[in-house]
Amino acid sequence: MTPENSKTQSRSAELREQVAVLDAELTEDFKAQFSVSPFLSRKIVSFQGNKDKPAYSWYKYKEAFSVPLVEYFLSSYDGQISEKVLDPFAGIGTTLFAASSQGIPADGIELLPIGQEIIHARLLSEREMSSDDLATLEHWITSFPWNECRERVPFSTIRITENAYPQETVETIERYRGALHEENEKIQTILQFALLCILESISYTRKDGQYLRWDARSGKRRPGTKAFDKGEILPFDAAITAKLKEILSDIRNAETPLTLFPVKQTAKDIRLFKGSCLEILPTLETAAYGAVMTSPPYCNRYDYTRTYALELAMLGLTHTEVSDLRQEMLSCTVENREKDLLKICPQWNPFIEAASQQKLLQAIYAYLEHEKASGNLNNSGIPRMVRGYFSEMACVIGECARVLKPNARLFMVNDNVRYAGVSISVDTILSDVARSLGFEVEKILVVPGKKGNSSQQMGTYGRVPLRKCVYVWRKR
Ligand SMILES: C[S@@+](CC[C@H](N)C(=O)[O-])C[C@H]1O[C@@H](n2cnc3c(N)ncnc32)[C@H](O)[C@@H]1O
């Protein structure tokens, strides 16, 4: 080892040690707030908990949390919340629909068009379907009208979705799109939604976090990867009729209200803002909400715009629009460039400062920058992503404090992460930032059974368990 290398290594160790010391101090500081909650299973905090829930299971949005989780925090945690609830990262609207069915009005903000479309289709299916509309859906299930349709409506692809379906499937999708144009707008929305629900199952791809994985039958292979077999690729007709049947059956069952709050009566209290919460939060009224229930993207390089590329292309987004969307999302990929937060809202200086002055974060930034300069990071965009994530989250937290009523709570599901051998305690860091922005940290509820690291991380640094938590903050 050269003297230069040895100097670099000992500086790395020193910076890592500083992170470890500050991390231990902050953990100690929140000792009284940490508790392991037996109610919070991995199933409850994830989409798994919605698997057999009518309507929630129509579209498999793996990043969603579950209805029982929302119901627990809004109704059982400390009594029933009755005032309007906000979810600034609404996804497919789990908070919105679960709150609404408990008689709580709900507002959501969502940037990704697939989430917006799912919420829209679901609201429509719950509120506006007439018996004629249901009969039309029944006709689609039994008669396959697309097979007789002469008109073919092509759909756009973007570079990363080219050749995603067998040729025969492409032609059938085009005829299906042609046939749906003959229906009224409501039916079109439901038919288009059903199509979005099955895209992955009829394609050569599998959603895989940072990328779409391609089945070997597609003829595509990422260099250096093993041939991948995703199993059965469903024929279009079977997949679409099964999905339409499921949707129709759930709509019909919901028509007989079994609950105290019939869906049709409460659904009108859901409001969706389409766009980035960084842009929309500052426009919301101060002290308007009785709770925030949310789960932001995790700081884990997960790229929603790539994972949902098939759906975004089917919704007509171009390559440039998808790239722009990636930049607008909360920074959690290495491609995210720094956002000009003060341009979005000139009043955010104290929020940005709250993140930049957080001591543990400063030590993490120093370590990551050092590792980048020493060529030890597997991607040089990691420090910028981590910095962007915490600055943007500080702004979201500051805005949530502003829009909440005094004493109202914010519940947040989030994961800790790990880069270059250092665990980043997202839970204690964000809680510390929240504390300086007007929240009291009541609890950091740990989900039992800790999550591992990426295989790359485990190979290099050994397995260090990462916490998954629900933070409970109360506005002072
Ligand atoms: C973990 S998911 C939330 C899932 C949601 N809890 C549910 O049950 O469906 C995070 C969501 O934040 C959205 N998102 C990312 N950046 C955003 C932004 N700047 N503004 C609004 N939503 C954003 C993503 O598209 C994603 O749907």
The closest of 437, 171, 405 to 288, measured between CA atoms, is: 405
Q: How far is the CA of 457 from the centre of ligand 1 (A)?
A: 26
Count of beta carbons in the 10 Å neighbourhood of residue 21: 12
Residue with the two structure tokens 């069915």: 101
Ligand 1 pocket mutation pick from 43, 46, 56, 63 by most atoms within 8 angstroms of CB? 63
Name which of 107, 37, 100, 44 is nearest 400 in CA terms: 107
Instruction: Give the ligand 1 atom nearest the CA of 330.
Output: 16
Using the atom order of ligand 1, give the atom closest to the CA of residue 88: 21
The answer to whether the CB of 329 falls within 8 A of the CB of 381 is no
- Residues 408-434: tens digit of each pLDDT: 999 999 999 999 999 999 999 999 999
Measured from the Cα of 115, ligand 1's closest atom is 27
Pocket of ligand 1 (CB under 6 A): 61, 63-65, 89, 91-92, 94, 109-112, 115, 276-278, 295-297, 304, 329-330
Which tokens in the block code for residue 267? Answer: 């659904």
CATH class of residue range 3-106+275-296+334-454+469-475: alpha beta
Lowest mean pLDDT among 195-199, 206-210, 336-340: 206-210
Structure confidence by residue, pLDDT tens digits, 376-400? 999 999 999 999 999 999 999 999 9
What is the tens place of the pLDDT at every residue in 175-196?
999 999 999 999 999 999 999 9
pLDDT more than 70, % of the chain = 94
* Residue 296 CA, ligand 1 centroid: distance in Å: 6
Cβ atoms of 95 and 79 within 8 Å: the answer is: no
Please report the pLDDT score of residue 208 as a whole number: 85
Is the pLDDT confidence value at 59 over 70?
yes
Q: pLDDT tens-digit profile of 104-159? A: 999 999 999 999 999 999 999 988 899 999 999 999 999 999 999 999 999 999 99
Centre of ligand 1 to C-alpha 253, Å, is 29
Domain ranges of the chain: 3-106+275-296+334-454+469-475, 126-254
The Å distance, Cα 329 to ligand 1 centre, comes to 8
Which string of DSSP letters, residue by residue, matches 307-370? HTHHHHHHTT--HHHHHHHHHHS-S-STTPPPP-HHHH-GGGHHHHHHHHT-HHHHHHHHHHHH
Write out the two tokens for 171.
Answer: 């032609």
pLDDT in tens, 332-366: 999 999 999 999 999 999 999 999 999 999 999 99
Nearest Cα residue to atom 13 of ligand 1: 89
Ligand 1 pocket: which of 66, 107, 111, 396 to mutate (most atoms <8 Å of CB)?
A: 111
Tokens of 105: 């009005």
Q: What confidence tens digit (pLDDT) does each residue in 9-57 have?
A: 999 999 999 999 999 999 999 999 999 988 899 999 999 999 889 999 9
CA distances from residue 305 to 61, 127, 290 in whole angstroms, order as listed: 13, 30, 32
Distance 110 CA to ligand 1 centre (A): 6
Separation of CA 13 and ligand 1 centre (Å): 36
Give the residue whose CA is nearest to atom 27 of ligand 1.
91
Q: How far is the CA of 100 from the centre of ligand 1 (A)?
A: 19
Atom of ligand 1 nearest to the CA of 94: 8
User: Per-residue pLDDT for 281 more than 80?
Assistant: yes
* Cα separations in angstroms, 6 against 10, 11, 18: 6, 9, 18
Q: Are 396 and 88 in contact (CB under 8 A)?
A: yes
Burial 167-202 (b: 16+ CB within 10 A, else e): eebbebbbbbbbbbeebeebbebbbbbbbbbbbbbb
The pTM (predicted TM-score) of the whole model is 0.94
Distance CA 249, CA 216 (A): 36
